[in-house]
Every structure is written in structure tokens, then in C-alpha cells.
Amino acid sequence: MNASNFINPFSIREDEGSFAGDFYTRNFERQARKDSIILNLGPQHPSTHGVLRVLVELDGEYVLRAEPVLGYLHRMHDKMGEVKTPYQYLPNMGRVDYLHPIAWNWAFVGAVERLASIEPPKRAEYLRIISCELNRISSHLLWWGAFVLDLGGVTPILYAFEEREMINDILQIITGSRLTMSYFRFGGVCADCDSRFIKLTKDFIPYLRERLKIYKALVTDNIILRRRLEGVGPMDTDICLRYGATGPVLRASGLSSDTRRNIPYSLYDNFEFAIPAGPSNDCFGRYLIRLFEIETSLQIIEQAIESLPDGPILIDKAPKANYKLPAGESYFAVEGARGQIGVHLVSDGGKNPYRVKLRSPGFSNLSLFAEAAKGTLLADAIAILGSLDLVIPEVDR
């Protein structure tokens, strides 16, 4: 039989001259083995959480090569920073990463404050810390549920949402919204907390600790989950540093690195909390690190809510919509739920910033995937993808 007549139904690489598939697929297939399957995971795939697309080359169930394709949720947040005044750009920050919007709020507000030399009042700093840590817990809870969902367990995500709803209720009291919060202002926060907020938060801490015990028995100790995760997708410190991975991914690899400690901002130095470095650098290590971080955040909230000082929440004459940034540049980094969030702000003294560069941790963490997924089973690749805690809007910005 003539080789050119044989059409492999699972390949479009025979007609290389034509324009079948898009640029990425064609480029990917050019380097592929002749007997492998090229599979497009996503952009509409249940386990890619949104619109990530991953090209994988499969030999049976084994992943030979994987390549993430980005840009399906690109919303030009960087560019929008250049056409809006800093104040008008604030609501964008809640939408970059919808799971941890407060940290993004903080990164941008912090950059502006550093450039304009604004010092927020002490009560505002405490409220920032409490809201940011609450938000971090809710982000980790959703990740936990979604990760187990990736592994096939449907129920835990609904339990996680119970606590997440409670956190949303608490955060709604001060921020006014439940998902895309725009809470921070230059020089403080926009709303003060009331006694109901403090009571709900204080009640929530022991409640969540009880629930975490149930989660441990239901999921963490489950033999199926452990066998699925232990030893899967190891990422050592070296590769994490080379790709610029931060957050729980880096900490699980054994390096105790946290922006809250390494580049202290706000009043984090006043609180006692441990920065855990993982027991193992596999998926299970990353899983444990995140569950431990929930406990860390609870400790911080506990200390902060006990010592919440009185005072104003916003400086007098806080910058408003017509505020002009002084010329210069600044960089501010905070620790988000997924890693180091950074905002680089350049201003030429005009109405709008000259350039806003957002550094999203998910983007760097995702770049590890191609390396870690090599040679694993397809199910393991899904587990690795889940363990990186990707939020696609944040990766694409």
C-alpha cells in the first residue's frame, strides 16, 4: 500500500501542506512521533478549569510531551492600566484572579502607595491582613474541592463551598461583594468592619478547624487519593527556581520561601506564623502545603482580630479618580494564594500610568507543567495540572 494513501484517522499531520489545525497544533505535530496520538486537552475540557488548552502527545496512556497553549482568556489588563487612571483601574484588580482578588487589590494599591509615599493607617493595615487571609482560605478551599474533583471525587467540592460561602458572607460585610472584590483604596480600605464581622470571623475559626479534621479523614487519609498523588509529578527546588515558580509549589519543593517573610510588607512582621516547607515535592506535598496554609492563615486572622486597633481606616485626602501619580516607578509584591503577585508601575507624571506590568504566579507555575508531565500517565498529568492551582484568568490576564 502506498504510504501516502494511508490516512491515520487520528492525525492530521499527513496533510502538512494544508492548514488543518491551528498554528500550535501544526507546530506541535511537526515534532511528534508518527505512531502517537496528539490530543487537545481543552480549551473546553472539564479538568482545565476554564479555558486552558494543553496539547499532549500520547503513547497509549503515557504523555510523551505536553505544551500549554495560553491566551483564550486574555483581557488586556496590562494595557487597560495605561488607559485608565489608577483609581479607575482598581476594579480590574478584582477580576485578574477571581479567587484571590484581595491580594491583587493589595499588590496594585501597594505599588501606588509606594510610588506616592502614602502610609495607610494602622487599622486599615489590620483589616487588609484579615480580609486577605480570609480570602486566601476561601481560595485554598475552592482549590481543594476542585483538585479532588479532578481526581474524580465529586462530593468534597460541595463541602468546601459550605465554608467558602461562610467566608463570602463575612467578606461581603466589609467589601460589599462576594467574588470580584474591590475593597482597597490608596491609603486604606473603603469600609470599616462592624461587630458582626468580628463575631462571625471569631466563630468561623474554630468551626473551620473542626471541618478540616473531617476533610482529613474523608480525603487526605483516603488510600485512593494517596496512591493517586504520592510520588506523582515531583518538582525539585532547582526546576522551580529556574521557571520562577512561587508559592505553595516552591514551598512544597523544600524551600521555605514566602513573600510575607522574605520581603515583609504591611504588618506581617508583627504576627507569628510558620512558613512550612514541604515534606515531599510531589502532588501530595503540594496538597498538604495548601491545607497547612489554611491553618497558617487562621493563626494570622486569630492574632489580627484580637489586636485590631481603633482609628481611621482611610487617610485624609485619599487619592481619588482625578489623582495624578508622581513620575517614577515602583514594584510591589505580595503573597497570593498561588504565589508571588507583583505589580510594576511606571508613571511619567501624567493622568494615567505609563505602564502597568502584572506578574501573575499562575503563569510561572504553569510553565512547570510541560516539564513535570513528561512520561506520566494521562491521569497523572491531570493531577499535576490540578496540583499547580491554576486560575486561567490570572494566567492569561
Partner 1 sequence: MDLSIVSFVQIIVSVLLVIALMVANAVVMVYIERKMAGFIQRRPGPYEVGPYGTIQAVCDSMKLLAKQVFVPGNVDWLLYFLAPVTAFLPVLLLYLPIPFGPYLTAMNVDDGILLILAFAGLGVVSNLLAGWASNNKYGVLGAARAVSQSVAYEIPMIMALLSVVFLTGSLNLTEIVDSQGSWPWQWNIFAQPFAFFIYLVSLIGETNRAPFDLPEAESELTAGFHTEYSGMGFALFFLSEYANMLLVSFVCATFFLGGWKGPFLDGFWWTFIKAYAIMVFMVWIRWTFPRVRFDQLLNINWKWLLPLSILNLWLTAAILKILSKIY
Partner 2 sequence: MIRAVWDNIKGLYSLIVGLSITARFLFSPQKTVHYPRKVVDPESLSSFRGPLELTPAADNSAQSRCISCQACVRACPGHCLTVVKGQGKAPIVWTYNFTLCCLCAACVESCPTGALRFSHKVYMVASSRQEMVLDLLSDLEKNAAVAND
Interacting residues toward partner 2 by CB under 8 A: 84, 87-92, 95, 155, 159, 162, 165, 169, 172-174, 176-177, 180, 182, 185, 190-191, 196, 214, 217-219, 221-224, 227, 320-322
- Integer Cα distance of 389 and 50 in angstroms: 12
Secondary structure element (H or E) that encloses residue 136, with its range: helix 122-150
Coil, strand or helix at 264: coil
- Among 178-186, 251-259, 304-312, 372-380, the segment contacting partner 1 (CB under 8 A): 372-380
Q: Total binding residues for partner 1 by CB under 8 A?
A: 33
Binding partner of residue 214 among partner 1, partner 2, none, CB cut-off 5 to 8 Å per kind:
partner 2
To partner 2, the closest distance from the beta carbon of 319 in angstroms equals: 11
User: In whole angstroms, what is the distance from residue 315 CA to residue 173 CA?
Assistant: 21
Nearer to partner 1, 102 or 381 (CB): 381
The contact mask relative to partner 1 for 138-157 (x = CB under 8 A, - = no) is ----------xxxxxxxx--
Name residue 63's beta-bridge partners. 58
Cα 338 to Cα 394: distance, rounded to the nearest angstrom: 10
User: From the CB of 19, what's the least distance to partner 2, in Å?
Assistant: 37
Site membership for partner 1, residue 207 (CB under 8 A): no
3 state SS of 106: helix
Q: Is position 18 an interface residue for partner 1 (rule: CB under 8 A)?
A: no
3-state per-residue secondary structure call for 168-207: HHHHHHHHCCCCCCCCEECCEECCCCCHHHHHHHHHHHHH
What Cα–Cα distance (Å) separates residue 292 from each residue in 103, 141, 248, 278?
19, 11, 10, 10
| Residue 162 touching partner 1 (CB under 8 A) | yes
Q: Which is nearer to partner 2, 130 or 235 (CB)?
A: 130
Could you say which residues in the range 24-63 bind partner 1, by CB under 8 A?
37, 39, 45-47, 58, 60-61
The CB-of-85 to partner 2 minimum distance in angstroms stands at 8
